[in-house]
Amino acid sequence: MARLACTVASIDVSDLRADCSRCSGLCCVAPSFTASADFAFDKPAGRPCRHLGADTHCGIHRDLRPRGMPGCAVFDCFGAGQRLTQVTFAGRDWRDGPEVAEPMFAVFPVLRQLHEMLWYMTEAAARPEAAALHAEVGRTRAQTAALAAGSARELEALDVHWYRREVGELLGRVSEAVRSGWPGPQHRGDLVGADLRGADLRGAALRGAYLIQADLRGADLRDADLLGADLRGADLRSADLRGSLFLTQPQLDAASGDATTGLTEGDGAAAPTLLRPGHWIRTDATGLRLRVHPEPSSG
């Protein structure tokens, strides 16, 4: 990986979780969206959503899915929103005028991608199978944290797409190390609506796969690489996702599951923890207690 000149910075796993109470509603203003299965209406970039309140909280947050806004329900900024508001712009927000709004909206997607990469590298550093790469992962994670700590001007100047490709190459080697013990298939293409019930997908390469509406009930996905896989509407009931690589909370939030879906329990400090989404079936016949992903306080 090419080395960038930057100051070493640290970041905790807790910093990679959205805290809407410390943000300024950036996800409700900065992005554009189009009327579709994910959104009930069109919204241009930089215009506040019609449901955004004066307190920068979403007025229909608890009813996003029934109100035709599942795309908002699954969006996650990986903590970029509160960092941009509280740190990069020192408490100022887009309502203070175009001189703040324009650069804030421009760098929001850049910082979000950096935080997402930090999430992946935090997981990579916790995988013992990739111990030979831990030093390189640590250096790259520190470099990425330093970039995330940059000024708005520095963030806007960063070629984040190039940088993501560089980080992706390292994550690919981590994936190969973790999956080396499995004869997992290569499934990186179109699996929309695929019937994969009970499939042995241990160690499978599913990076970027289209698994929209796929039936994965009872599938074994241990150590499968799910980086960037589209799980919208996928049925994960009874699927075993323990140890799945680079799985994120937004992917789980976009899918369906239940109490029998196996999830990795990270320690919440050094390794990311995935929580069972609140819209999943909350109990099974045995009354299994669930760890439910809480709804954010605002949207």
End-to-end CA distance of the chain: 36
| Main-chain phi, psi angles of 252, to 5 degrees | -65, -40
Higher pLDDT, 108 or 12: 108
**Model confidence pLDDT, tens digit, residues 134-158:** 999 999 999 999 999 999 999 999 9
Would you state the pLDDT for residue 267? 55
**Model confidence pLDDT, tens digit, residues 158-187:** 999 999 999 999 999 999 999 998 876 777
Would you state the pLDDT for residue 10? 59
Task: Give yes or no for residue 7 having a pLDDT over 60.
Answer: no
- Cα 221–chain centre separation: 18
What is the percent of the chain with per-residue pLDDT over 70, rounded to a whole number?
Answer: 88
Cβ distance 12 to 284 under 8 Å? no
**Model confidence pLDDT, tens digit, residues 39-65:** 999 999 999 999 999 999 999 999 999
Q: Domains along the chain?
A: 13-179 (no CATH), 183-299 (2.160.20.80)
Would you state the pLDDT for residue 275? 87
**Model confidence pLDDT, tens digit, residues 222-275:** 999 999 999 999 999 999 999 999 999 999 999 999 999 999 876 555 567 888
The beta-strand segments (E) located in the chain are 276-277, 292-293
pTM of this prediction?
0.88
For the chain, the maximum distance between any two Cα atoms, rounded to a whole number of angstroms, is 57
Would you state the pLDDT for residue 187? 75
Burial of 11 (0-12, 13-18, 19+ CB in 10 A): buried
Nearest alpha-carbon partner for 152 in 96, 84, 209? 84
**Model confidence pLDDT, tens digit, residues 190-219:** 999 999 999 999 999 999 999 999 999 999
One-character DSSP codes across 210-230: B-TT-B-TT-B-TT-B-TT-B
CA 118/CA 124 separation, integer angstroms: 10
Would you state the pLDDT for residue 26? 96
Amino acid identity at 251: Q
